[in-house]
Structure 1
Amino acid sequence: MVVDSDLREVNYEKYCGICKHADCPEYEDPCFECLDNPLNYCTEKPVKWEEKE
C-alpha cells in the first residue's frame, strides 16, 4: 500500500468557525463539499474554506 504523506486530515474545528460560509447549512454547497472531503493535499484547511472579512 502506498501512503501519500502530503495528504492531511482537515481541521474542521479550527477553520469552520472562521469561514465566511459558517452560516451555510451543512447539507448545501460549499459546506457539503468540505465535509465530503476529510483529507486535503498539503493543508489542513477545508477545500472550500474562505476567510471571513
Structure 2
Amino acid sequence: MDRRTPAPTQAAPVCAECVRLSNEQQAANAEGDYSRESDCRVLLARHRTAEHGGER
C-alpha cells in the first residue's frame, strides 16, 4: 500500500507562517517522514482557520 500523502498544501500568499509550515511539510514528505508531514498539514490548516478565515 502506498502511504504517500497528497501534494503539499499551498501557502497563503505573503504569510511567513504559511510558507514556513508548507516548506516543513514538503521537507518531511521528501524525507519520508509522513507523521511529521501530517502534523504540518494539521498545523497549517489550524493556522489558516485562525489567521486567514479558513482554507485557502
TM-score by length of 1: 0.39
Tell which structure's C-alpha radius of gyration is larger: 1
Task: Answer 1 or 2: which has greater strand percent.
Answer: 1
TM-score by length of 2: 0.38
Structure with higher RCO (Cα < 8 A, 6+ apart): 1
Task: Answer 1 or 2: which has greater helix percent.
Answer: 2
